[in-house]
Amino acid sequence: MLNSQNRGVIITALLICFALPSLGQISHETRDKNGRHIIPRGFVINTNDAVGELFYTSDDYLRMVRMGANYQVIRLELGKLSDFPGCTLDHAYLQKLDTLVSLGQEHGMKTVFKMTVYGVKHFSWEDFWKNNNDEHNTYIEAWRTIWERYRNQEAVVGYDLVNEPRKESMDISYDDLTTEYLVPLYQKIIDESQKEDPDKLMYCQAIFMNKGDAINHNQYAEITAAINRENVVFTPHIYQNRKEWIKPTMMRFVKEASLQKGPMLIGEWGFPTFQTTDSSAAEQRNYMDFYIHTVNLFDSLGVGTIKAWFSGNRKYQNFLSGGRSTWAIFSDPIGVGTVERKYITDIIARPYPQAIAGDIFSFRFDFATRTLKVNLVSDNSKGISKIFIGANRHYPDGFSIAIGDELILVHNPLISKALKVVKNELHIDSANFIWDESKQQFTVLAWPEDEAHLELRVEPGIQK
């Protein structure tokens, strides 16, 4: 056990590390209203696909939670929320959104809404940027419907303002499009949104580049100007299938997030899977290899991540040289499936600290040894902590949780759904530690030591 002097030295050193810029750090962490350190993780929820509408049930949301989701990003259709030509506000669609938010809230998930331009026929990005017919205000009014509806709902934490904004045929550089059009539009939207609810987070993307254009083989331009507004979260997308491209792209994103003086959320990630991969063990091993490389880098940076898509496989796309592909994580030929592509879902559903009362210094799940290590500074005044373990897929042989060297808890799935204390040198109340089999979550009501540097380890097997 640490004495008070040593503990103070360690905490001071950690706080210095938090303050210093490094490759393994973004500008600020994501915090909830209680000040807990949050790692957002979840899925893009599509309200429709190329075949038609998608509908979700409570079972689907429990399935998300059991994959480690604590956030959902609901993809909005501008055509059902606006007065763009040929469009009108669809009140049944609003009720559908209410249902998705409620389902998320019932299962402990926060919601972010993301606006797409789907449903607006003949939408022109050039016309949109030039705003000759007051397109910006029409767009803002569509957002205002959402802002007013969810103004007082804590379950809705923010808004992804423009999904994959594009240049298309405009005769302009990506830098100029960003500084002259995109950033001013973000400022205008944010100023209007904060009149409704100044506490909501504003998620902002960079320009989606034209086909054939890319930086480090990632089709997103650099955001080169500060938005200079409160509560901005930089929200890049990354779709890459070569390991050597991933780190340069992520280091660039860290720089861009720092420019916005806020946290970063990877708004979409994960190269699509090909139809052939479902029946090829070699292709699946390849996917797992670069997915593991990708998520290890995400976790080393402490960033939240949103995976596309939580859906079945009603239709493939055909825009990649490898053939028919999809982002669906289920292989069922229905709207929302249950047959997992486990070479994808086992990587998504890796153990991690979801919400920590205190500060997360680092965390990593080692896929080879199935070991999660979390280094943190505790602060019991901020409430309870939750760690997603995913025992059903990662620890069918049981698991052991060690907090420091003084406390060890074990879960033996052959005997009980509860945790058993096998070492407790500090005589800590075991009621502070709860295993939720349904949600696959480990809850800590109070850390064994407060304002202390602690290491939490989750390992396979049952220590005796």
The DSSP-derived string for 60-94 is HHHHHHTTT--EEEEEEEGGGT--STT----HHHH
Per-residue model confidence (pLDDT) at position 436: 97
pTM of the model: 0.93
Give the residue-averaged pLDDT of 222-245.
95
pLDDT more than 90, % of the chain: 90
**How many angstroms separate the CA atoms of 89 and 103, rounded?**
23
CATH 2.60.40.1180 maps onto the chain at 357-460
pLDDT in tens, 285-316: 999 999 999 999 999 999 999 999 999 999 99
**How many angstroms separate the CA atoms of 296 and 366, rounded?**
8
Residue 354: which of 412, 302, 422 has the closest Cα? 302
Predicted confidence band of residue 385 (pLDDT cuts 50, 70, 90):
very high
As a whole number of Å, the end-to-end CA separation of the chain is 21
What's the mean pLDDT when you consider all of the chain?
93
Side chain identity, residue 3: N
Residue 11 pLDDT greater than 70, yes or no = no
Per-residue model confidence (pLDDT) at position 231: 95
Residue 87 CA: distances (Å) to CA of 57, 114, 294: 28, 18, 39
Per-residue model confidence (pLDDT) at position 28: 62
Predicted confidence band of residue 21 (pLDDT cuts 50, 70, 90):
very low
Side chain identity, residue 130: K
Per-residue model confidence (pLDDT) at position 23: 39
Look-up of token digits 């407790």 = 424
Predicted confidence band of residue 19 (pLDDT cuts 50, 70, 90):
very low
Give the residue-averaged pLDDT of 20-41.
73
Per-residue model confidence (pLDDT) at position 113: 98
Residue 464 pLDDT greater than 80, yes or no = no
Look-up of token digits 């005796």 = 464
Residue 266 pLDDT greater than 90, yes or no = yes
Per-residue model confidence (pLDDT) at position 429: 93
CATH 3.20.20.80 maps onto the chain at 39-349
Predicted confidence band of residue 24 (pLDDT cuts 50, 70, 90):
very low
Omega into 309 within 30° of 0, i.e. cis? yes
Looking at domain 357-460, what is its CATH homologous superfamily?
A: Golgi alpha-mannosidase II (2.60.40.1180)
Looking at domain 39-349, what is its CATH homologous superfamily?
A: Glycosidases (3.20.20.80)
pLDDT in tens, 60-82: 999 999 999 999 999 999 999 99
**How many angstroms separate the CA atoms of 303 and 312, rounded?**
27
Give the residue-averaged pLDDT of 232-240.
96
Q: How many residues does the chain have?
A: 464
Give the residue-averaged pLDDT of 140-165.
97
pLDDT in tens, 101-149: 999 999 999 999 999 999 999 999 999 999 999 999 999 999 999 999 9
Residue 25 pLDDT greater than 70, yes or no = no
Predicted confidence band of residue 416 (pLDDT cuts 50, 70, 90):
confident
pLDDT more than 70, % of the chain: 94
Could you give the angle at the alpha carbon of 279 between the alpha carbons of 281 and 237, nearest 5°? 80
